[in-house]
Structure 1
């Protein structure tokens, strides 16, 4: 015979309290009308003795909140996003949310269909990383009062919060460092050209070169993709008769490390003697001795904290106006840039 399920009413009777006190004792979100420590201890003791576990689905029907935040990622082979996913999940759990991860297309194709599917899960909010949203989707989420926070992306849509690194400033810092170390034939390896990160880093880099009397020696698109990065590097450096660049700025470490690997093993370049390389992100692999990559560090912990704080405040309706936060990058000097003066 199937054992009957223990309910919050059973716990309330056993502990000698009201059913609402049981609900408040198990609430993940503190309220002004919480229960005293002594009462909560008695309730939890009764629940343990009876084998009671709160029903999250039933609670969501009452509160009209699922306590689920959708995390949208387009790829995790880049260490930066794998690390960001881990940190976002941990930080969300601290604030009483559960993360529901959706893998998205690497471009903006098919995003609308996937987002429409995830909304069937009644998510309380959305954090997008490496994903751009169309105006239609932004309007769709706004009409349903589903807050959206963009992580490492920025779009000029009203009502959309964002947390990014100051990518324009990061591009300028990279260019300035190469100029100050005596480089003249400076190349750029950009990412997916419709992403805000690639666009802004490229803009800052070119602006700083131009203002210092320089121009790009050569530019190729790696699309934040290993295969496309390899093709771009072979195109830039594969002809031994060409005067090759003396410096390369790759718009993320993922592409920079792939570029270094091909340049060393296949094209027989010495880094940094033949070519200096700068990346962007400062992923753990960049600090490994075999790469020791000079790069621009994104303050990932600060980015995660601010993204989760915003989604929490927007879901709880503690704030009305969204924030677009831009944090300063930091140049991390290692051993892939040579002083050429």
Structure 2
């Protein structure tokens, strides 16, 4: 006996349509459309009836068909250069959740900061016809910006700035943050302060270094050294060996290091303690930048500048959605961070704790 469900003459079940849902729910087809359109208004009673009917019939809206009608895919591309730094997984999770809450789907792409790698990823995102692009610490070339502009796809840079009037950007106030870190070290009695900088090819690294330098100059001090750590754990570790591995007299060795992000600061602390046998903070104080989750762990207990990541994410989402809706003016947003004091800085002004 032939199973009817496998018979070559058996018909495929008809696709459930919005009209079917509307009939069962006793509402108009436009009401069904409003219920399934993010941001559209529908009463609670209508929404309940429509969703109950849709669940009973097994209805799902056709996203592709809707995108053809509206010209919107409701997809945002997120491009990030690397995830080793804990700040970026946290930021990407918050960005993804915030965009999904607004009814947008998220495509995450990895790209190196090399021009070729970014160009390939951007070309693929344009093929997906995304509604907008958010870049996290990824540089935009003039050609890429022009192509996105010509395609009508807005770009918002997250945690990175760039001297291009067509681009919007959201960062913490990195100059103020670098200044605050240096001021804290000065206020706690440090005078021989070094800086393992973030990559100087990025605005974040340059701005934090500028704030640091300005604070030292205001206090009549000069940095012991300023070394580009490239936002790399290995590079920062080697910079620490170069700074502290030399045979310093006790009065010449740096007594503090400001590090351009927490990811590097952990490497600096590990080398100081476990390779060079120096006490943190007894002999060397360390300040980082970001306040990633690991910074509060007892193993590091790192004093750091907290990036206001939730406020940065909210501002980024508002910017990208506003530009999708027609606000084409570029915006530059700087959000103040906060100094988080923990145990990696020694107060050398305390008379009980002064060097004898």
Q: TM-score, normalised by structure 2?
A: 0.90
Equivalent residues of 2:81, 2:138 under 8 A apart? yes
- For 1:38 and 1:292, locate their aligned partners in 2 and report how far apart those are by CA, in whole Å: 52
Q: Equivalent residue for 1:196?
A: 203
Which of the residues 246, 251, 255 maps onto 2:260? 251
Following superposition, the deviation at residue 98 of structure 1 comes to: 1.2
Q: Equivalent residue for 2:147?
A: 140
> CA distance change for structure 1 residues 40 and 9 in 2, over 3 Å: closer, same or farther?
same
- For 2:255 and 2:235, locate their aligned partners in 1 and report how far apart those are by CA, in whole Å: 21
Task: State yes or no: 1:7 paired with 2:17.
Answer: yes
- For 1:291 and 1:264, locate their aligned partners in 2 and report how far apart those are by CA, in whole Å: 11
Task: State yes or no: 1:325 paired with 2:337.
Answer: no
Equivalent residues of 2:262, 2:288 under 8 A apart? yes
- For 2:115 and 2:290, locate their aligned partners in 1 and report how far apart those are by CA, in whole Å: 22
Equivalent residues of 2:234, 2:267 under 8 A apart? no
Alignment of 1:86-235 (within 5 A): 86-235=93-242
- For 1:170 and 1:36, locate their aligned partners in 2 and report how far apart those are by CA, in whole Å: 46
Which of the residues 273, 292, 302 maps onto 1:293? 302
Following superposition, the deviation at residue 109 of structure 1 comes to: 4.6
Q: Please, which moves more after superposition, 42-51 or 277-286?
A: 42-51
Equivalent residues of 1:185, 1:245 under 8 A apart? yes
Equivalent residues of 2:154, 2:324 under 8 A apart? yes
Equivalent residues of 1:186, 1:247 under 8 A apart? yes
Secondary structure at the residue paired with 1:291?
Answer: coil
Following superposition, the deviation at residue 17 of structure 1 comes to: 3.9
Following superposition, the deviation at residue 72 of structure 1 comes to: 1.0
Structure index of larger Rg: 2
- For 2:42 and 2:220, locate their aligned partners in 1 and report how far apart those are by CA, in whole Å: 68
- For 2:235 and 2:280, locate their aligned partners in 1 and report how far apart those are by CA, in whole Å: 21
Q: TM-score, normalised by structure 1?
A: 0.94
> 5+ unaligned residues in a row in structure 1: which ranges?
none
Task: State yes or no: 1:38 paired with 2:40.
Answer: no
- For 2:181 and 2:317, locate their aligned partners in 1 and report how far apart those are by CA, in whole Å: 29
Q: Deviations over 1:267-325 (max 9, x none)?
A: 111001111111001111111111111111111111111111111111122x3423211
> 5+ unaligned residues in a row in structure 2: which ranges?
1-9, 350-356
> CA distance change for structure 1 residues 236 and 85 in 2, over 3 Å: closer, same or farther?
same
Following superposition, the deviation at residue 35 of structure 1 comes to: 4.2
- For 1:79 and 1:126, locate their aligned partners in 2 and report how far apart those are by CA, in whole Å: 22
Q: Please, which moves more after superposition, 240-249 or 268-277?
A: 240-249
Following superposition, the deviation at residue 167 of structure 1 comes to: 0.5
